[in-house]
Amino acid sequence: MKNWPYPRVAAHRGGGTLAPENTLAGLCVGAGFGHTMVEFDARLSADNVAFLLHDDTLERTSTGRGAAAQLRYAQIAGFDAGSWCDARFEGEHMPTLAEAAQCCRDEGLAANVEIKPCPGREAETGRIVGGETARLWRPSGQGGAAQPLLSSFSFEALAAARDAAPDLPRGLLVEHVPDDWREQTAALGCVSLHASHRHLDEALVCRIKEAGLFILAYTVNDPDRARLLVSWGVDTVCTDRIDLIGPHALDG
């Protein structure tokens, strides 16, 4: 990937803090603010359905309880995943990856699909989510939109996704950039490194860019910090404050 086809700003988990995360409503809220790229989390149910949820457990963002990996998707789909955020989102569910893909297509959104395996299911999750993403977004992009970008904190999951969907771009997710970032990203065939903005500085950004990688920084909620990161060479910032850091706030 010689050019970075993604915008300067990506909406974190769909609608950031303005909508229930990892829901269709969240994706639509992000699009409603004019954003053209969203990030969201994909994991597996007990019956291997890829669906959107950040945590291993259901309590924080739904009326469900317990480990999501132990429930079939038909059960998961029945939980309310919206009212915890605001009563107007009551009835939102945790959508399948297929539903999210259709929503992105309808709203003209590029997607950063973060692969979220539960412990012990790293390779399986990477294989299924990677393969499903390649299938759902086939052909490459949607009406000229950029291909979905796969990312994960799990080396094993991202390696499995690479094998299942070799043509999709990949980014290694880290909090602190490790000493062996060159070796890890090369082994995975990554086009990008996704790092916490709190642990980035200008010299490190320069080294990463000189190695031929693009950089996505998360989760950046201060406009001044976002502008500084871009001035260092960061390609995309992922934000919860999709209202403060608009889709074109960092252009030019």
Give catalytic status of residue 194 as yes or no: no
* Total domains present in the chain: 1
Residue 131 domain flag: yes
User: Could you read off the pLDDT of 18-50 as tens digits, one per residue?
Assistant: 999 999 999 999 999 999 999 999 999 999 999
Task: Report pLDDT digits (tens) over 132-186.
Answer: 999 999 874 445 679 999 999 999 999 999 999 999 999 999 999 999 999 999 9
Is 202 part of a structural domain of the chain? yes
Q: Is 199 a catalytic residue?
A: no
82 part of a folded domain: no
What's the whole-number average pLDDT of the chain?
96
Residue 165 lies in a domain: yes
Question: For residue 14, is it within any domain?
Answer: yes
**Is pLDDT at 252 greater than 80 in this prediction?**
no
Among 12, 93, 194, 197, the active-site one is 12
CATH code of 106's domain: 3.20.20.190
Domain span at residue 226 reads 9-48+96-239
Q: How far apart are CA 231 and CA 201, in angstroms?
A: 11
Is 116 inside a domain boundary? Answer: yes
> Residue 30: inside a domain, yes or no?
yes
- Is 159 part of any domain? yes
> Residue 141, by phi and psi: left (phi above 0), alpha (psi -120 to 50) or beta?
left
The answer to whether residues 41 and 29 touch, using CB atoms and an 8 Å cutoff, is no
